Amino acid sequence: MLTIYGVYRSRASRVYWMAHELGLEFRSVPVLQARRLAEPLSEEAPLNTHSPDFAAVNPMGQIPSIRDGDLVMHESLAINLYLARKHGGPLAGQTVEEDGLLTMWTIWAASQVEPHSVRIVLTYDNGLENSAEGKETIAAACYGLRRPLAALESHLAGRQWIVGDRFTVADLNIAEVLRYAQSEAALFDANPNIKAWIERCQSRPAYRAMQAGRSKEPVEV
């Protein structure tokens, strides 16, 4: 059985969404981010990214990780590419060319979008969005997103989905990276193709199942 290490309020959300899309049976092992705990190494602390038991799974001390049989993997976007390829179906590439495009768009999301979108979500997570420093950080991140979002907006002109004519792992991976920036409505209002596309992605039952799991977790520990 697939084991997912991580909490829904983390990048593990992508893997939980993917597991629901594929209809996979999985075991969830909650692993908190150490930054959310005052004393992550205390004996009373819940399993977290600094816990020795988790370090045996992922020496980098980051979530998510998975165990699938004898295979242990880290990096959420790579995990989803693996799960799509292993289980096949419409989320996976149907040709070598499609497989290449799924990988290309996933790497694009990680390199061109997430460095900016994660700065936005962390500003909100730290309660700094209304401070002068926070506003400056968000404005700089939004500026950094202008070019990659313009490219995606153009790509989606006349298309419903990123690759092929169906929802794939590329849509899931990119939508989750962009979710971190959804607090900035103006970004999406300026890109109507992206706005309509992400609404399609987030209307899927598997996304809603992931969000249901997320809503059950406390925001604070």
- CB-based contacts of 201-206 (< 8 A; 24+ apart in sequence): 201/167, 201/171, 201/172, 201/175, 202/175, 204/21, 204/167, 205/20, 206/17, 206/20, 206/21
pLDDT of residue 207: 98
Q: Measure the CA–CA gap between 120 and 168, rounded to whole angstroms.
A: 26
User: Which residues are registered as beta bridge partners of 2?
Assistant: 26, 68
Q: Indicate the DSSP class of residue 167.
A: -
Q: Are the C-beta atoms of residues 25 and 1 closer than 8 Å to each other?
A: yes
Domains of the chain, CATH where assigned: 2-90 (3.40.30.10), 96-206 (1.20.1050.10)
Residue type, 18: M
Q: What is the pLDDT of residue 221?
A: 66
**pLDDT beneath 50, residues of the chain:** none
For residue 136, report the phi and psi dihedrals to the nearest 5 degrees: -65, -40
